[in-house]
Amino acid sequence: MTDTRPPRIARRMADIDSFQVMDLLARARELEGQGRDIVHMEIGEPDFPTPAPVLAAAQRALAEGRTHYTPALGLPALREAIAGFYRDRYRVDVAPERIIVTPGASGALLLALGVLLNPGERILLADPGYPCNRHFVRFLNGAATAVPVEADTAWQLTPRHVEQYWDDRTIGAMVASPSNPTGTLLGREELAALAGAVAARGGTLIADEIYHGLIYPKVMGEERPLPASPTNVGEGRGGGSRATSALEVAPDSFVINSFSKYFQMTGWRLGWLVVPPAYVREVEKLAQNLFIAPSTPAQYAALAAFSDDTLAVLEQRRAEFQRRRDFLLPALRELGFGIPVTPEGAFYIYADCSALAADSAQFSRDLLEQAGVAVTPGTDFGSHHPECYLRFAYTTDMARLEEGVARIRRFLGR
């Protein structure tokens, strides 16, 4: 007999949305199945394969039978290697004991919020922002305070927002620099001021640095210095420019990073979390219970992620992402999209399409169905006038980006 009872689904699930971009991607795949050619500018992961030295390290580890659990906090050698990366690239000393290896930045976010947040407590988040954050907060029966941010603050939280939105249930603020979906950064001064404003209220700053390494400070041919605030860059190892880590200006922050984006290891599911010493044991207990340990082969692979050979490959790819940004940004502006702040990181451009269409969700459907171009509507990133925005991801090669722009131009009748 079939069970006719309705499923018993927890109330929280009503507040947890799916990614609309996944529906869009499914439709794009369906169209491709029918023989249509689609330019993919919706995908939030690098199109490059994992660098060869990392693959080789993984193969060696598997051949050596490294398939058992590691400690919950991660392989000691990998925690040392990450500490070395902070020393080399940021000139900052982070004790390896404070570094916890996690199943992606996603695992790190869950652990960080898990040890910090009581039911009913609040976290400030920028809207637009990475949608999973508010869902993690909801999952833990906390409440996300969505702070509407605008181009005038490079889409980032500021001390003014903290002052305005903090209440007696708020325990911290989460930022991502560079941000998804806007690609904009918090400069050193902004980050320090924000951390100061949070600390002054006894709160904790959680800084998601998953797009660090993918930084493009200057637009080629643009002579004047970049507008607005996110201008803090310096030379890092490998000759590339870098963003400021919260660990440089506010060592007591919770800092999240990942091997997914700069290191191009999305499918390996590996990231890390840096916490103040007093929290390590608590994170360890939670990690033991939630995950037992991060993936062992992935950790051995990641030991090769900081080698000179790997960093050389990653820097070439960073240069390629910069070339794409430098093409796509003026091309979209020329088509009539509003992009008031130059995105200096990640691989996203958050473009105001209100001069071209009334509703970005419908616009993205039309672009897919009629022009064969897939982009993500603003609705995936919050509720602060998302109908005005599209997120373009330059995670496809130059020829395809050029084709995508040409198709949008034709669609708009230009």
Quote the radius of gyration of the chain (alpha carbons, Å): 21
Residues 201 and 186: their CA atoms lie apart, in Å, by 20
Residues 52 and 48: their CA atoms lie apart, in Å, by 11
**What residue has token string 């890390």?**
272
Q: How far is the CB of 338 from ligand PLP (least distance, A)?
A: 23
User: Of 24, 38, 101, 210, which one interacts with ligand PLP (CB under 6 A)?
Assistant: 210
Residue 208 interacts with ligand PLP (CB under 6 A): yes or no: yes
Q: How far is the CB of 390 from ligand PLP (least distance, A)?
A: 17
* Half-sphere exposure at residue 294, Cβ-oriented, CA atoms within 13 angstroms: 32
**What residue has token string 């200057």?**
218
User: Of 32, 62, 188, 266, which one interacts with ligand PLP (CB under 6 A)?
Assistant: 266
Residue 271 interacts with ligand PLP (CB under 6 A): yes or no: yes
Residue 182 interacts with ligand PLP (CB under 6 A): yes or no: no
Residue 354 interacts with ligand PLP (CB under 6 A): yes or no: no
Residue closer to ligand PLP, measured from CB, 384 or 407: 384
Judged by DSSP in three states, 108 sits in: helix
Residue 209 interacts with ligand PLP (CB under 6 A): yes or no: no
Q: Which residue is nearest to ligand PLP (CB)?
A: 104
Q: Which amino acid is located at 241 in the chain?
A: S
Q: How far is the CB of 258 from ligand PLP (least distance, A)?
A: 3
**What residue has token string 């643009």?**
222
- List the beta strands (DSSP E) in 104-246: 122-127, 143-148, 170-176, 204-208, 234-235, 241-242
Smallest Cα–Cα separation from 393: which of 316, 311, 332, 310?
332
Q: How far is the CB of 297 from ligand PLP (least distance, A)?
A: 17
- In the region spanning residues 91 to 120, those forming contacts with ligand PLP, defined by CB under 6 A, are 104-106
Residue closer to ligand PLP, measured from CB, 190 or 208: 208
Residue closer to ligand PLP, measured from CB, 44 or 404: 44
User: Of 158, 180, 241, 253, which one interacts with ligand PLP (CB under 6 A)?
Assistant: 180
> Treating both helix axes as pointing N-terminal to C-terminal, what angle do 131-139 and 104-116 enclose, rounded to 10 degrees?
40
User: Of 204, 245, 260, 379, which one interacts with ligand PLP (CB under 6 A)?
Assistant: 260
Q: Which amino acid is located at 239 in the chain?
A: G
Q: How far is the CB of 105 from ligand PLP (least distance, A)?
A: 3
**Binding residues with ligand PLP: total (CB under 6 A):** 13
Residue closer to ligand PLP, measured from CB, 130 or 321: 130
Residue closer to ligand PLP, measured from CB, 86 or 130: 130
- In the region spanning residues 132 to 151, those forming contacts with ligand PLP, defined by CB under 6 A, are none
* Torsion sign over Cα 18, 166, 188, 333: positive
Taking a C-beta distance cutoff of 8 angstroms, is the pair 151, 174 a contact? no
Q: How far is the CB of 409 from ligand PLP (least distance, A)?
A: 29
Residue closer to ligand PLP, measured from CB, 379 or 408: 379
Q: How far is the CB of 176 from ligand PLP (least distance, A)?
A: 4
Residue closer to ligand PLP, measured from CB, 273 or 331: 273
Taking a C-beta distance cutoff of 8 angstroms, is the pair 175, 126 a contact? yes
Residues 90 and 241: their CA atoms lie apart, in Å, by 11
Find all residues with CB under 8 Å of 331, minimum gap 6, and list them. 405
Residue closer to ligand PLP, measured from CB, 180 or 342: 180
**Phi/psi of residue 124, nearest 5 degrees:** -85, 135
Residues 344 and 225: their CA atoms lie apart, in Å, by 12
Q: How far is the CB of 370 from ligand PLP (least distance, A)?
A: 28
Judged by DSSP in three states, 348 sits in: strand
- In the region spanning residues 10 to 69, those forming contacts with ligand PLP, defined by CB under 6 A, are 44
- In the region spanning residues 219 to 248, those forming contacts with ligand PLP, defined by CB under 6 A, are none
Binding-site ranges for ligand PLP (CB under 6 A): 44, 104-106, 130, 176, 180, 208, 210, 258, 260, 266, 271
